[in-house]
């Protein structure tokens, strides 16, 4: 391949980390390697979803993986866990930067976390291009939180993210909403900002491992993936509970792991709501095929913070999708523009139950849904914008 580049990608989340950012980074790097580029990754040993380090020596052909964090211990406090991750990864990257930036054309930090890049900015060689990729705007998720400590956290998030983004030669956002919000709050220059939706990662795996989980005689409503504050977990559980009472012959499923899902499981007393571990990546296609409807929830006033990375896969799979998002959000407009079903912007249970019931019996155009997904969510466009 002509114009081959040597790239240093910086993110704690990488193969075989099961978190969505880890899968995203892994697929992105593998495609770079397939196109002839050389890639080194500075990352941590896997620790998701239970925040316990699982040492891994697994490698990927053509990728140089440098791992750290093998002896880290995370607390049960959410804020402290994230601080431990931010600071420990920053010190790890600083220690490794000088050796592994040699001969590199591009340093590519994946945000969040942000402190590692903030910490190393003065030490990156002047001739190396800095291309950031933004998955979440943390400042958006810090909005509306009261208390002195939260105000301090928000202050530092703003300071760190602003410095990181302004120091990049190019920044790639996964939605227009994120780009516009970041440009406004961090005073960014338009000509170095790019937008590209996350890409489809389905591999056409044909498995049959989930038969014992799903009752094919029932309408199976599913939430799958990481579950945290930005997915509005308590309201999602409440919605599932109410809907199970009012819509006949339904079963509701959570496929997730971590502290939040443990809390929901302890609170739940509804026999029509079932909890399962995350499925293996080779079972994703089967999960989507056996889901009558997949739910994508966004907490109120957070749509500017991120675009769910599983949306492309769900649309490409042909699964029916119910997105709960903000009024006039990018997803709502995207669904309206391309005639996709179904994005709503109200967390009222009666409203959601009405829309869910409608979608259950709605005959959607699967072929059209797949065509739109394949046109919008492509990795080739993302790579072109990184190098443009």
**Mean pLDDT over residues 329-357, rounded?**
95
- CATH fourth-level superfamily of 219-375: Glycogen Phosphorylase B; (3.40.50.2000)
Q: Is the pLDDT of residue 58 over 70?
A: yes
Exposure pattern of 221-232 as b/e (b: 16+ CB <10 Å)?
bbbbbbbbebbb
Q: What is the pTM of this model?
A: 0.89
The pLDDT confidence band at residue 144, using thresholds 50, 70 and 90, is: low
CA distance 325 to 344: 6
Q: Is the pLDDT of residue 177 over 80?
A: yes
Across all residues in the chain, what is the average pLDDT? 93
The SS3 assignment for 251 reads strand
Q: What is the pLDDT of residues 285-332, one digit of tens each?
A: 999 999 999 999 999 999 999 999 899 999 999 999 999 999 999 999
* The pLDDT value given to residue 89: 97
Residue 205: per-residue pLDDT: 77
- CATH top-level class of 6-195: alpha beta
Triad 185, 296, 280: Cα angle to 5°: 110
Domain ranges for the chain, please list them.
6-195, 219-375
Q: What is the pLDDT of residue 1?
A: 41
- In this structure, is the dihedral angle defined by the CA atoms of residues 251, 199, 308 and 345, taken in order, positive or negative? negative
Tokens for 80, please give them: 């402290």
- What are the tens digits of pLDDT across the range 254-288? 999 888 999 999 999 999 999 999 998 889 999 99
How is residue 61 annotated by DSSP? T
Could you give the strand order of the β-sheet that contains 219-224, starting from the edge strand earlier in sequence?
273-276, 250-255, 219-224, 293-297, 320-324, 343-344
């Amino acid at each position: 391949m002509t114009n081959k580049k040597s790239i240093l990608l910086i993110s704690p989340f990488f193969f075989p980390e099961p978190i969505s950012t880890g899968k995203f980074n892994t697929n992105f790097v593998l495609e770079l390697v397939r196109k002839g580029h050389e890639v080194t990754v500075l990352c941590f040993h896997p620790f998701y979803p239970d925040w316990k380090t699982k040492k891994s020596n697994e490698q990927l052909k053509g990728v140089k993986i440098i791992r750290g964090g093998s002896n880290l211990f995370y607390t049960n406090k959410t804020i402290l866990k994230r601080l431990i991750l931010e600071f420990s990864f920053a010190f790890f990257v600083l220690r490794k930067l000088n050796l592994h930036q040699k001969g590199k054309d591009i340093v590519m930090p994946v945000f969040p976390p942000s402190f590692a890049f903030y910490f190393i900015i003065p030490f990156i060689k002047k001739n190396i291009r800095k291309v950031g990729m933004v998955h979440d705007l943390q400042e958006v998720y810090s909005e509306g939180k009261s208390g002195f400590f939260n105000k301090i956290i928000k202050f530092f998030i703003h300071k760190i993210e602003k410095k990181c983004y302004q120091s990049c030669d190019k920044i790639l956002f996964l939605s227009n909403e994120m780009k516009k919000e970041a440009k406004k709050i961090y005073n960014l220059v338009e000509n170095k900002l790019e937008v590209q939706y996350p890409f489809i990662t389905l591999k056409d795996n044909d498995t049959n491992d989930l038969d014992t989980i799903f009752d094919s005689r029932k309408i199976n409503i599913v939430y799958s993936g990481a579950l945290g504050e930005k997915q509005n977990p308590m309201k999602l559980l409440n919605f599932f509970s109410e809907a199970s009472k009012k819509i006949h012959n339904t079963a509701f499923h959570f496929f997730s792991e971590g502290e939040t899902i443990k809390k929901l499981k302890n609170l739940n007393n509804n026999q029509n709501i079932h909890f399962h571990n995350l499925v293996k990546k080779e079972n994703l296609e089967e999960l989507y095929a056996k889901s009558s409807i997949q739910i994508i929830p966004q907490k109120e006033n957070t749509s500017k913070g991120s675009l769910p990375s599983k949306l492309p896969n769900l649309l490409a799979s042909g699964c029916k999708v119910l997105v709960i998002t903000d009024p006039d959000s990018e997803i709502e407009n995207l669904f309206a523009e391309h005639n996709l079903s179904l994005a709503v912007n109200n967390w009222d249970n009666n409203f959601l139950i009405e829309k869910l019931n409608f979608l259950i019996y709605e005959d959607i155009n699967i072929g059209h849904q797949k065509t739109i997904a394949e046109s919008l969510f492509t990795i080739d466009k993302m790579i072109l914008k990184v190098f443009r």
